[in-house]
Amino acid sequence: MSRGMPRLPAPLMDLWDWQSQAACRDVNPELFFSPESERGVRKRAREMVAKSLCGTCPVQPECRQHALSVGEPYGVWGGTTESERDNVVLPEHRKSA
């Protein structure tokens, strides 16, 4: 490779390989995403079941980090809900004092 040539991006499979190990890979995605009309007790119960599955997942940290880094606005990812992720400030977004 000559100098000045940009480096090629990493293969996409390397970036997404963690998903093949996810506990949710064969689960109906409706467990993780709320219908538009879902509210209150029903929504919290569904989220609790989804989060309990996340708690058994070997790639939970990777999933959570993905959702935080892309600003995933919907669903349960890595054991976190939309509102829980809204309250997390990533280090690269913190203002230095």
Binding-site residues for [4Fe-4S] cluster, in ranges, read 24, 54, 57, 63
Q: Residue holding tokens 């913190």?
A: 94
CB atoms within 10 A of CB 50: 23
Determine the number of helices (DSSP H) and then strands (DSSP E) in the chain: 4, 0
Asked if 30 contacts 52 with a C-beta cutoff of 8 angstroms, the reply is no
Residues in binding site: 24, 54, 57, 63
DSSP state, 80? Answer: B
